[in-house]
Chains A and B, each alone.
Chain A
Amino acid sequence: MDYPMFLQLLDSTLRLATPLLLACLAGLFSERAGIFDIGLEGKMLMAAMSSGAVAYLTGSVWAGLAAAILGSMLFALLHGLASITFRGNQLISGVALNFVASGITVLIAQDLFGQGGRTPPLEGAARFNPIDLPFAQEVSGVPILGPFYAEVISGHTFLVYVAILLVPWSWWVLYRTRFGLRLRAVGENPASVDTAGVSVVRLRYAAVMITGVLCGLAGAYLATGLQAGFGREMTAGRGYIALAALIFAKWRPWYCLWACLLFGFLQALALRPDLIQNSIGISVPVPALDALPYVLTVVVLAGLVGKAIPPRAGGEPYVKER
């Protein structure tokens, strides 16, 4: 594999890692507040459909983005109702909402456009187009770093850069603000937060709604950035890979970035099995690459590589003592 080829691979790594990263950070907020969320997949799907449909109807990708966030937040609210207000089983709620999303996105898209559950292809201002960073052309002549800047760093869509910037932002919110401290506390020991006079319910709703917004970005990116329009089941398990990445990252923002880049790299490799064949001379079956993120996560879960300890109060509804 030569250098330009490698850069291409990194370029698609970044593109494929973006939805994972957004969903992973989304899950980070919810789970750090003690609300397990296996409904990332459903929220992304709902967001993807909303953005695809609204962007097509209005011709504006920004309207699509807003619709994506609203659609995803609606599902987040339902998850919050079930798991916070009614103290239901968070895992079951997540599973249920994934199914609802999987079906209802097709129903709505079919009703609106009658194209077999797809939205019509988006073009022009209805989707996010690549942004060329300053000086990309000028520095591309610089050896090694120049092409890296021009090929890999520059030329992505808006939401790719947003996703990357959200990593330090998440770190700052969770570790450097009062809200973040309380949010993490509510995931470890909600009773102590309650004793301090802070509302557990309000904090957890806030966390779940942030999850909704971030999943909205992830879904919008799928339908308006990575691809041009919504297709049925277009998330293709990305919500679960993001969940795996979150565990792989041991519920920490910067680790989320590395985990998602790794899993994105594996996805990029799975698209180009010939590259592995050419560079190491062994043909690796594509399914093995597809399965690798999940296998790696199981290995981490098994505690073979460090230990992944989830937030202590995760998955348990908080009942105020009477």
Chain B
Amino acid sequence: MTKLPTWADVVLVPLISLSLAAIVSALVLLAIGQSPREAISVMVDGAVGSPYAWGYTLYYATSFIFTGLAVTVAFHAGLFNIGGEGQAQMGGLGVALVCLALPWPHWTVALVAASLGAAAFGAAWAFIPAWLQAKRGSHIVITTIMFNYIAAALIVYMLVDVLRPDGQMDPATANFPPGTALPTLNQIPGLDLIFVKKVPANVSLFLALAAAALVWVLLWRTRLGYEIRAFGKSEAAARYAGINPVRITVIAMLISGALAGLMSVNNVMGEAGRLVQNSSEGAGFIGIAVALMGRNHPLGVILAALLFGFLYQGGAELGLWTSIPIELRIVVQGLVILFTGALDQMVRMMLGVVFRPRAAKAA
């Protein structure tokens, strides 16, 4: 098979995969008698057509940056962390416990404490699968799937039997104290000129961007990051170079779990103001699509998270204004994962045909 030029591999392959996913989605819409043209115009209007719409798109994107980074870090260590969903929900539990523990004086203090709580709970939930993979050779994909379900059951138990206030019917924690409310973009001086209506996007957006920068520094500018990438490329070579596989597996998964947990600062603390069942609403899984689409690079993850933020907000608008079910976005999400993650060789083979004559001429 022809080896593609780097730019084609980094830019063209994801773009073509994305177009294929879009084309198949359009065909699906046609098949159920809907108009793809109308769908896309409703989505664009509702997701990027106004600052208010952007406020929602950015809110979703914030969560997806965190979970995308989580998958990215694990991927570089050669680990497929499919447990972002469980880790994010456990992160939500961490946020809730921290927020309800004290009458927090100011949101800045609460943000730091809640972030630590979210990261610690997310990391802890990733620790056992990591340790089992490193020490006992249990396949991390399977264990993290199992831990998603165990987390869901644990959260149900905590919400129904432990954290639910007396006299409340729905399984959720009490509302967090007012001192924990994070400023939304329309409350930040300067940004309030753009965002005039109340939007859910909040300061954790900047936390997510900072996390992306830190992940970049970690992976490409530190010794630990080098070890993680070396381990992911070839475990045998890394072992021979004196890199401890147990240490790298556990550390990479702890970071991954912490990042997944951190998304709960955005949705549980920034938006809901209390912990409910299934708080992450699939964002942990979207992290897989985001990381694949973003080619496991923090910058790519940010762009892909924006794309999925658009898809999520746009999909919700479809559910509101058209007869197209909101589930369309799950189909698109699945197709993006399919084309970018599993059928990428097919795209490369197609491109190989295009690039072959040119490569032959140059030679």
Q: Residues of A with Cβ closer than 8 Å to B? A: 38, 78, 81-83, 86-93, 95-104, 106-108, 110-111, 117, 232, 237, 240, 243-244, 247, 285, 287-288, 290-291, 294-295, 297-298, 301-303, 310
Contact = CB atoms under 8 A, between A and B. Distances in A.
A88 B343 contact: yes
Given A111-B32, A287-B153, 10 more contacts: A38-B141, A89-B342, A102-B334, A106-B327, A111-B33, A240-B149, A244-B146, A290-B153, A294-B153, A302-B136
Interface stretch (B113-121, B154-162, B192-200, B296-304): B154-162
A100 B331 contact: yes
B342 A288 contact: no
B154 A96 contact: no
Contacts of A83: 342
Given A99-B333, A107-B325, A298-B143, A303 B136 contact: yes
B327 A103 contact: yes
Central interface residue in B147, B325, B344, by most chain A CB within 10 Å: B325
Given A294-B150, A301-B136, A301-B143, A288 B285 contact: no
* Interface secondary structure of B, over-half rule: helix
A131 B273 CA distance: 53
Contact of A96 (B128, B161, B342): B342
Nearest to A78: B338
B328 interface: yes
Nearest to B344: A88
A99 B285 contact: yes
B28 interface: yes
Contact of B141 (A87, A91, A111, A291): A91
Given A104-B28, A104-B331, A243 B341 contact: no
Given A88-B345, A243-B145, A99 B139 contact: no
A205 to B, nearest CB: 16
Interface string B113-152: 0000000000000001000100011110111011101100
Given A103-B331, A106-B327, A95 B82 contact: yes
Contacts of B334: 96-103
A110 B331 contact: no
A304 to B, nearest CB: 9
Contacts of A89: 341-342
A87 B345 contact: yes
Central interface residue in A87, A88, A303, by most chain B CB within 10 Å: A88
B154 A103 contact: no
Contacts of B325: 106-107, 110, 117
Contacts of B328: 103, 107
Interface in B46-92: 80, 82
B259 interface: no
Contacts of A82: 338, 342-343
A96 B292 CA distance: 11
A243 B342 CA distance: 20
B329 interface: yes
7 closest A-B pairs by beta carbon, nearest first, are: A99-B334, A103-B330, A100-B334, A103-B331, A93-B342, A96-B338, A88-B342
Nearest to A294: B146
B293 to A, nearest CB: 12
Contacts of A298: 128, 132, 138, 143, 146-147, 150
A297 B338 contact: no
Given A237-B149, A310-B139, A102 B154 contact: no
B346 to A, nearest CB: 4
B157 A288 contact: yes
Interface in B285-340: 285, 288, 292, 325, 327-335, 337-338
Central interface residue in A82, A98, A101, by most chain B CB within 10 Å: A82
Nearest to A110: B325
Given A82-B343, A99-B333, A104-B28, A302 B327 contact: no
A110 B137 CA distance: 44
A76 to B, nearest CB: 14
Contact of B142 (A86, A237, A247): A247
A97 B338 contact: yes
Contacts of A86: 342-343, 345-346, 349
Given A95-B82, A97-B334, A106-B327, A287 B142 contact: no
B132 A99 contact: no
B288 A92 contact: yes
Contacts of A97: 334, 338
A88 B82 CA distance: 17
Given A89-B341, A302-B136, A285 B335 contact: no
Nearest to B315: A103
A92 B225 CA distance: 24
19 contacts: A86-B349, A88-B341, A88-B342, A88-B344, A92-B341, A92-B342, A93-B338, A95-B337, A96-B341, A97-B334, A103-B332, A106-B325, A117-B325, A232-B327, A243-B145, A285-B157, A291-B153, A294-B153, A298-B143
